[in-house]
Amino acid sequence: MNIREKPAAAREPLMTSVSRSGIPVPASVDASAVHPENIGQPGEYPFTRGIFPDGYNGRLWTIRQYSGFGTAEESNERYKFLLAQGQTGLSVALDLPTQCGYDPTHPMARPEIGKVGVSLSNLSEAEILFQGLDLSKISTSFTINGTAAIIYAMYLAVADKQGVPREKLTGTIQNDILKEYVARGTWIFPVRPSMRLIADSILYSNDVSPRFNAISIAGAHVRDAGATAAEEMAYTLANGLAYVDELQRRGGDVEKFAKRLSFFFYVHMDFFDEIAKFRAGRRLWAKFMKERYGVKDPKAQHFRFGVVCGGSSLVAPQPYNNVVRVAVETMAAVFGGAQSIFTCALDEAFQIPTEFSAELAVRTQQILAFESGIGRTVDPLGGSYFLEQHTDRMEEMITKVMSEIDAYGGVIPAIEDGWMQLRLAERGLERKLDTDAGKNVIVGQNFFKKENEEMGVRELFTLDPTVAQRALEKFQRVLDTRQQSAVDASLAKLSAAAANDRENVMPYLVDCCHAYATVGEMVSSLKNQWGEFKEPVNL
């Protein structure tokens, strides 16, 4: 049989001379490939080698685990467990009803209550979620987009209830709706009202919670949907520039708001692609801030980012291999200079992590941080002939993709017309076909498989089957005990503010949360003014 006729798993994989982003990888590189003017020093423009001169010696990256499931009580217990294991920040996963703006009583919501994250429908649930946790001392990240402004308002209301000054709050809310239209689908409102809502939340946060990042411009989900490392960075930077333009249009001071813009990515398995992606992205963002927007403050030129190590690079077959994958990806994140790292658990490809797998994921970061020594010096691979050449080539590829978006007319028209969605869908199909054909090697999945293989995980996570019923009962108690007149008044004011383009809706969302208005009620008030996004169909 000709080797081309054999299934991938039946033959040995071949080493390729091209990275997964399509960048040629030479067998060796010499000094002629290095351009010293592109490298610079850590903490100095254009920040190729990092935004801080002392790297992790000044402050270690924040160790987080993406976590949340079932009810607020169960997630609160998991957060306390993870903090006890040495986690240094929280990363809150929300269930799909909360992400899409549905209350648990909605017919669309009931099958999904608490399944992929915690059910958080109103302030009462948020109070339980953070019970016993001092928000002045914990950095909290929320992976939420369509309802991000509402969840941020809820977090402010919890801080108010706890007596924590808002200016002491630290953390991040993802709040990146542009990539939702392209890659994930938890959008609610049309593009332009959504851009207004994001600008409202960022400008409001700059004033009332100046240490909190009101947006994390995310390439992560674009990457998992099929984009290469270069495309992930290109789409993310293009979206970031669209947000900057919107904030400037709204009268925001770029020297001020740019200091609180942050970014978020996945780290996959092509080690040098990932490191080069971060170094090139950091350099490009600094150039955009300085040259396009005239930003002078170095802190406003900083490209601050967090990562998840895992995502679609993890697979269900031979799941303990995922521990190795996450360790490799975490090293790439450290060498790339990440400010915050989430490490996926080995079983995340097929279930909510157990306490065992979540603890092992935390330990992976701790071993690399405190045993390996890889964070002792800043950008230890900087100056490598190959890495510097790869960073330059990655920058060229990122710039090429961004130019194609600009040529179309920019991010917003490209999304409204469905151009970016179609492009990403085609790339995702291409990656799937390459994996099926064995061009992308995944050990245990398309190569080095075992006959009659069982999953072989140590323990399985089982979601309490009473979660939905308990959530519904608590929800009804809130409806029965809140002051309905206060709810009605706060929702009416929110609706009026949404109808006025010159009004910032954030103070009204906070008031709604304090009145125990629900996520679904607040979303309905905004939908009545703004409508819903209708996804374009391209064949």
Phi-psi region of 350 (alpha: psi -120 to 50; beta: other; left: phi over 0): alpha
Q: Identify the structural domains of the chain with CATH numbers, from first to last.
A: 56-437 (3.20.20.240)
d(CA 93, CA 460): 19
In the chain, the amino acid numbered 500 is N
pLDDT, tens only, 113-131: 999 999 999 999 999 999 9
- Element at 218 (helix H, strand E): strand 215-218
d(CA 65, CA 53): 27
CA dihedral 470, 157, 199, 203 (to 10 degrees): -160
pLDDT, tens only, 465-481: 889 999 999 999 999 99
Please tell me the number of Cα atoms within 13 Å of 197 on its side-chain side.
Answer: 32
d(CA 239, CA 264): 12
- Sites in the chain below the pLDDT cut of 70: 1-11, 453-458, 538-539
pLDDT score of 1: 35
Q: If we measure between CA atoms, which residue out of 469, 538, 403, 439 comes closest to residue 22? A: 439
pLDDT score of 13: 83
Q: Could you tell me the two tokens for 143?
A: 């992976």
Q: How is 436-452 classified by DSSP, letter by letter?
A: HHTSS--BTTTBS--TT
pLDDT score of 317: 92
> Which of the 8 DSSP states describes residue 191?
H
pTM: 0.93
d(CA 330, CA 371): 14
Q: Is 457 helix (H, G, I), strand (E, B) or coil?
A: coil
Pairing of the two strands 215-218 and 212-213: unpaired
d(CA 129, CA 343): 22
Query: What are the CA-CA distances from residue 479 to residues 106, 510, 515 (Å)?
Result: 14, 18, 11
In the chain, the amino acid numbered 29 is V
pLDDT score of 10: 52
| 13 in Cβ contact with 441 (< 8 Å) | yes
Cα R_g (the chain), whole angstroms: 23
Residues 6 or more apart whose Cβ sits within 8 Å of residue 265 = 218, 219, 220, 223, 232, 233, 236, 277, 278, 305, 306, 307, 308
d(CA 303, CA 286): 7
d(CA 52, CA 75): 34
Task: Please measure the distance between the N-terminal and C-terminal CA atoms of the chain and give it in whole angstroms.
Answer: 38
d(CA 188, CA 181): 10
d(CA 379, CA 276): 11
